Amino acid sequence: MTNEKKTSLKIIIIFYSILFVFLLMFAEIFLSIFDREEILVRGDDPVMVYSLIPEKSGTAMTPEYRVNVTIDSYGMRNCRKPYLNLNNSLLILGDSFSEGWGVDCEKSFPGILSASFPDFQIWNGGAHGGSLSYYILRSRYYNDIVKPTHLLLQIFDNDLDDLDKIHEMITFDSNGFIVKANPKGLIFIPPGKLSSFIKNLSLFRFTKRLVSKLKGIPTPIKYYSTGREPEEATLSHEDAVIKYGKLEYIKNISEEYNGQFEFYKYNKNTMPEAWKSKFSRFELYLNQFYSEAISKNPDIKIAILYIPAKEVFAEGGIDGSFKNKSGKFIRRDINSLETNNELFILLKNFSSYKKVKLINGLNIYYENPESLYFPGDAHLNSAGHAVTADAVKKWILEK
């Protein structure tokens, strides 16, 4: 190839490279103006694998709710500005239930607690997508900031399955204990920052939604820029029941919800190895979580809040296998719910052995579960958060 041809080829490559970058920039600007989806409120984090992004806000919206989500400078959805000089502080660690998914901040159980205890600093460390391994990393990060006198660990039924979500982004020691976060992805300089930047680009999110749509994967938009939300009416609870149906069991517990609640099919003797492994790791992390909390503050007051999947309260039980002698679906009583739930049994035994308070959601929500969960969503509604707050209050006030 002659020098002239080489020069021409270089010019062509440079020209199209510049054109390509220009088109990407134009697409990003265009989508950032006209695409209504809010920048993600959760991003990658080098210490916790991922976290809520400080100073972010948006409107979380589905047919059942329309709420503002504002993340403060600590990366939390706190309803009241934290003060670091209070003698009493409660650190709540949990998933979207603690974050207050679907309800206004003041109506979430952390928000209600904050209003109920003005002399207590309530730190809402809940973040959607959480799991027990994640809570250990999150507890380490916030412990020195919060210096909690009280610690509430919220567990949901899918926390067992979610252990694997960030398994590849954590370093473990030879005994299986969590050492530190080890995020992987696109050229982490520093870890997590570049990937967070890319994931927050309008072009990236638009492309991801487009690919999912072409593949037939449902991708409902959750967050919108405040003031740019679709003009859609929010369903009342009664209308949501009509739209989504009344509470019923999971027809195929091994497939629906990606099989997250399949462990309900088994007891300790019939459980397959895959689930046995999850339970073993869960118990290991639970002990690590407790040991690290006690080592920081031997006098700390700890409670576990257990929130079950709403389908456990359905007629027929969570998988539709519970019937009376005539073959009719009936609801399990409290004792049956507790003795047929290996996760609850693990938490109960752990709490008894460590003398940790277990706040039992099976009791809290049993009387009228349909009024406490969203009909079309897995989460608690404002009524559910209110009864949860009442149960946590009792623990806080215990001598």
Strand partners, 171: 180
Strands (E), 191-282: 223-224
The CATH number of the structural domain formed by 75-180+236-397 is 3.40.50.1110
Predicted confidence at residue 191, as pLDDT, reads: 46
Domain ranges in the chain are 1-34, 75-180+236-397
pTM over 0.95, yes/no: no
Predicted confidence at residue 217, as pLDDT, reads: 59
Contact 113, 81 (CB under 8 A): no
Contact 185, 334 (CB under 8 A): no
Predicted confidence at residue 218, as pLDDT, reads: 55
Strand partners, 45: 49
> Angle at Cα 80 formed by Cα 76 and Cα 84, nearest 5°?
80
Note down pLDDT in tens along the chain; length 399 residues: 566 666 777 777 887 788 888 887 877 777 777 766 655 677 778 889 888 888 888 888 889 999 999 999 999 999 988 877 678 999 999 999 999 999 999 999 999 999 999 888 999 999 988 899 999 999 999 998 999 999 999 999 999 888 888 888 899 999 999 999 887 654 444 444 566 667 667 777 777 777 767 766 555 556 777 777 777 888 999 999 999 999 999 999 999 888 999 999 999 899 999 999 999 999 999 999 999 999 999 999 999 999 999 999 999 999 999 988 888 999 999 999 999 999 999 999 999 999 999 999 999 999 999 999 999 999 999 999 999 999 999 999 987
